[in-house]
Amino acid sequence: MARFGVQPLGHTPHPAQPSKCGHQNDKLTISLFHHLTTLYLCSMMQENITRLRADIEAYDITSPEQLEQFRIAFTGRKGQLADLFDQLKAVPQEQRRAVGQELNQLKQLAQQKFDERREELDAAQNNAPADPTFDYTLPPVPQALGTRHPLSLVREEMVRIFSRIGFNVAEGPEIEDDWHNFTALNFPENHPARDMQDTFFIAPTAPPAQIENGELATDETANTEGNSPFANLPTHLLRTHTSTVQVRVMESQQPPIRSIMPGRVYRNEAISARAHMMFHQVEGIFIDEGVSFADLKQTVYYFVQEMFGEDIQIRFRPSFFPFTEPSAEIDITCLICKGKGCNICKGSGWVEIGGCGMVDPAVLQQSGIDPERYSGYAWGMGIERITMLKYQIKDLRLFTENDMRFLRQFEGA
Ligand code: DAH
Question: Which one, of 95, 111, 120, 112, lies nearest residue 45 by Cα?
Answer: 95
pLDDT on residue 128:
59
Single-letter amino acid code for the residue at 40: Y
CA 251 → CA 240, 245, 362, 365, distances in Å?
A: 19, 10, 13, 10
Please identify, by atom number, the ligand 1 atom nearest to the C-alpha of residue 283.
12
Greater pLDDT, 16 or 270: 270
pLDDT digit string, tens, across residues 183-222: 999 998 887 777 767 889 988 755 544 555 555 444 444 4
pLDDT digit string, tens, across residues 293-318: 999 999 999 999 999 999 899 999 99
Q: How confident is the model at residue 127 (pLDDT cuts 50, 70, 90)?
A: low
pLDDT digit string, tens, across residues 101-118: 999 999 999 999 999 999
Distance CA 331, CA 399 (A): 22
Greater pLDDT, 10 or 208: 208
Question: Which one, of 156, 159, 142, 143, lies nearest residue 413 by Cα?
Answer: 156
The 3-state DSSP class for residue 284 equals strand
Which residue puts its alpha carbon closest to atom 7 of ligand 1? 355
Determine whether the shortest distance from the Cβ of 241 to ligand 1 is under 6 A: yes
Question: Which one, of 360, 391, 401, 326, lies nearest residue 153 by Cα?
Answer: 391
Contacts of residue 156, Cβ cutoff 8 Å, sequence gap at least 6: none
The share of the chain scoring above pLDDT 70, in percent, equals: 84
Determine whether the shortest distance from the Cβ of 80 to ligand 1 is under 6 A: no
- Give me the long-range contacts of 202-210 (CB less than 8 A, separation at least 24): 202/175, 202/234, 202/236, 202/237, 202/238, 203/234, 204/234, 204/235, 204/236, 210/235, 210/236
Q: How confident is the model at residue 125 (pLDDT cuts 50, 70, 90)?
A: confident
- Give me the long-range contacts of 314-319 (CB less than 8 A, separation at least 24): 315/350, 316/356, 317/352, 319/355, 319/357
Q: What is the CA radius of gyration of the chain?
A: 44
Mutation probe of ligand 1 site: the residue of 242, 321, 358 with most atoms within 8 A of C-beta: 321
CB 367, CB 357: distance < 8 Å: no
pLDDT digit string, tens, across residues 276-288: 999 999 999 999 9
Distance from the CA of 359 to the center of ligand 1, in angstroms?
Answer: 10
pLDDT digit string, tens, across residues 330-386: 999 998 888 888 877 889 999 999 999 999 999 999 999 999 999 999 999 999 999
Q: What is the mean pLDDT of residues 240-253?
A: 96
**pLDDT reading at 224 higher than 60:** no
pLDDT on residue 346:
86
The 3-state DSSP class for residue 359 equals strand
Please identify, by atom number, the ligand 1 atom nearest to the C-alpha of residue 281.
4
Please identify, by atom number, the ligand 1 atom nearest to the C-alpha of residue 354.
5
pLDDT digit string, tens, across residues 63-83: 999 999 999 999 999 999 999
**pLDDT reading at 24 higher than 70:** no
pLDDT on residue 25:
67
Contacts of residue 225, Cβ cutoff 8 Å, sequence gap at least 6: 231
6: exposed, middle or buried (Cβ count in 10 Å: 0-12, 13-18, 19+) = exposed
Residues 182/186/192/193 CA torsion (nearest 10 deg) = -30
pLDDT digit string, tens, across residues 128-171: 556 778 888 888 888 877 889 999 999 999 999 999 999 999 99
Q: What is the mean pLDDT of residues 246-259?
A: 97
Determine whether the shortest distance from the Cβ of 339 to ligand 1 is under 6 A: no
CB 226, CB 216: distance < 8 Å: no
Distance CA 249, CA 48 (A): 75
**pLDDT reading at 17 higher than 60:** no
Determine whether the shortest distance from the Cβ of 357 to ligand 1 is under 6 A: yes
Greater pLDDT, 169 or 273: 169
Distance CA 276, CA 255 (A): 35
Single-letter amino acid code for the residue at 311: D
Determine whether the shortest distance from the Cβ of 321 to ligand 1 is under 6 A: yes
